[in-house]
């Protein structure tokens, strides 16, 4: 008898309760082996590829791309052997058996993110049944098996059921809308989010006796205005917003700024670029700033700490965070044990971090356990700013653009390469005197990189 193995969405080691299905790497009928990548998911921290725990034939893709589902929800069914095609309506509706309950995490990605939680959602992802026609290796066995007949009946085969994706159903429930009252326009006769919004606009207008929203001359509501773009808040953007709000309103920020003559840093970077030791390695002033921050934190350990409420945890190591703008939003991966790296090794680590972030391949573990963060706003031509401290840390340094400005040196006004450093500190841990000494030490290295040789 043909059996199907249900693969439930696992907790990828972040402590999250849900994830979005970004893209399927397999299709119906594909033969997969254990550890083949089958799906790419997006959590609040990063994109993660999930390997298959089973060998067999892909029988069902139970969640559509773009849907967000809870951890433990069945997302794919893999057949352990070949079965003849069977009409979808012949399978009675039934819940998955206990043997197909939530699996243990397949991917370990570091400690759990204690600042991110998800609101439980009602319901589970719809199943889409299909027959299996590809051959499966006879040796393919799996620990959790359920008969093919126990897979839920496809949505299309269930009478008197409105077709709609889980997010649309949830939105309808929140708005108090009966989906049977909404006219569907989806390709398969399903109710879309646009259908729901249009129905809500119409209902509001009828209740108020007039349109609630401003409308253009065509008489349509705001939801139909082609000049309006709506972006769903999810993934990295959702996690970043939550973390920044919690940090800004829980940690009392104090910020200080210092203008720095970085002319010698610019000369040092120029020499490194033509050095045979740094051949093929991208070098920028950010490298010198990163080294300066590591050096200054070693001299002022309390800026490299975490506030817990009951105690202050001072870290005598440096996991240096670098804020990176990526296509998926702001991320802060960190370089582990940066205090042990030589200048060349630090340059290589910075280049690798930036390349990985731009490609959207930063993993959750790369963003856990940060000590202190640097944000390079100067890369966009910004002079300075007031950065918000990364949660779990007590200090952040903003690196402004370096440009030639008039500067008084030995009583004469001459052009020099000037930058402005901005630092924000958690005043529960870092007092004004400590923050000033730390920023002065960072500035000292930028003004004279030779101090790193001491």
Paired tokens of 443: 């500035």
Helix (H) or strand (E) holding 427: none
Catalytic residue among 170, 193, 427, 437: 427
Return the closest-CA partner of residue 371 out of 319, 325, 335, 298: 319
> Which tokens in the block code for residue 146?
């359920």
Sheet holding 18-24, edge to edge: 47-51, 37-42, 18-24, 68-70
d(CA 354, CA 324): 7
CA distance linking residue 138 with residue 187, whole number of Å: 39
Give phi and psi for 423, each to the nearest 5. -125, 135
Q: Which of 373, 399, 376 is nearest to 388 (CA)?
A: 373
**Angle 102-103-108 from CA coordinates, rounded to 5°:** 130
427 carries an active-site annotation: yes
Cα 65–Cα 364–Cα 313 angle in degrees, nearest 5: 150
Which residues, 6 or more positions from 139, have their beta carbon under 8 angstroms from its beta carbon? 55
Cβ atoms of 417 and 400 within 8 Å: the answer is no
In order of 272, 345, 372, 398, the CA distances from 269 in angstroms are 5, 15, 23, 19
Q: Is the dihedral of CA 191, 193, 197, 203 positive or negative?
A: positive
DSSP-derived letter for residue 61 is E
Contact partners, residue 160, CB within 8 Å, separation at least 6: none
Residue 301: C-alpha distances to residues 10, 25, 144, 392 (Å)? 39, 47, 51, 15
Residues with a known catalytic role: 427
């Amino acid at each position: 008898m043909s059996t199907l193995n249900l693969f439930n969405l696992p907790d990828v080691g972040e402590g999250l309760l849900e994830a979005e299905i970004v893209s399927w790497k397999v299709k119906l009928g594909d033969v997969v082996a254990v550890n083949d990548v089958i799906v790419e998911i997006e959590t609040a921290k990063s994109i993660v590829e999930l390997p298959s725990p089973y060998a067999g034939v892909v029988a069902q893709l139970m969640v559509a791309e773009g849907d967000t589902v809870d951890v433990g929800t069945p997302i794919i069914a893999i057949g352990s052997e070949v079965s003849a095609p069977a009409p979808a309506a012949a399978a009675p509706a039934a819940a998955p058996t206990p043997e197909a309950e939530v699996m243990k995490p397949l991917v370990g990605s570091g400690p759990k993110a204690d600042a991110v939680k998800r609101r439980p959602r009602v319901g589970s992802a719809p199943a889409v049944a299909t027959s299996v026609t590809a051959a499966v290796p006879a040796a393919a066995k799996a620990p959790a098996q359920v008969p093919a007949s126990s897979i839920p009946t496809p949505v299309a085969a269930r009478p008197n059921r409105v077709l709609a994706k889980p997010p649309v159903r949830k939105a309808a429930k929140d708005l108090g809308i009966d989906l049977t009252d909404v006219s569907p326009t989806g390709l398969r006769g399903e109710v879309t989010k646009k259908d729901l919004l249009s129905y809500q606009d119409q209902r509001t207008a009828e209740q108020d006796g007039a349109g609630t929203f401003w409308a253009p001359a065509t008489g349509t509501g705001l939801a139909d205005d082609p000049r309006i773009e709506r972006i769903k808040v999810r993934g990295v953007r959702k996690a970043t917003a939550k973390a920044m709000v919690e940090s800004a309103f829980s940690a009392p920020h104090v910020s200080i700024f210092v203008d720095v003559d970085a002319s010698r840093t610019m000369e040092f970077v120029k020499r490194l670029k033509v050095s045979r030791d740094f051949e093929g390695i991208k070098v920028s002033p950010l490298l010198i700033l990163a080294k300066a921050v590591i050096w200054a934190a070693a001299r002022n350990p309390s800026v490299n700490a975490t506030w817990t409420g009951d105690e202050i945890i001072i870290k005598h190591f440096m996991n240096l965070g670098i804020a990176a703008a990526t296509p998926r939003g702001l991320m802060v991966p960190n370089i582990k044990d940066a205090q042990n790296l030589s200048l060349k090794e630090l340059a290589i680590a910075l280049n690798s971090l930036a390349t990985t972030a731009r490609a959207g391949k930063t993993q959750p573990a790369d963003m856990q356990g940060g000590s202190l963060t640097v944000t390079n706003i100067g890369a966009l031509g910004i002079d300075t700013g007031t950065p918000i401290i990364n949660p779990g840390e007590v200090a952040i340094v903003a690196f402004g653009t370096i440009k030639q400005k008039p500067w008084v040196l030995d009583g004469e006004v001459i052009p020099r390469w000037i930058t402005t450093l901005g630092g924000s500190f958690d005043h529960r841990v870092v007092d004004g005197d400590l923050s000033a000494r730390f920023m002065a030490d960072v500035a000292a290295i930028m003004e004279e990189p030779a101090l790193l040789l001491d």
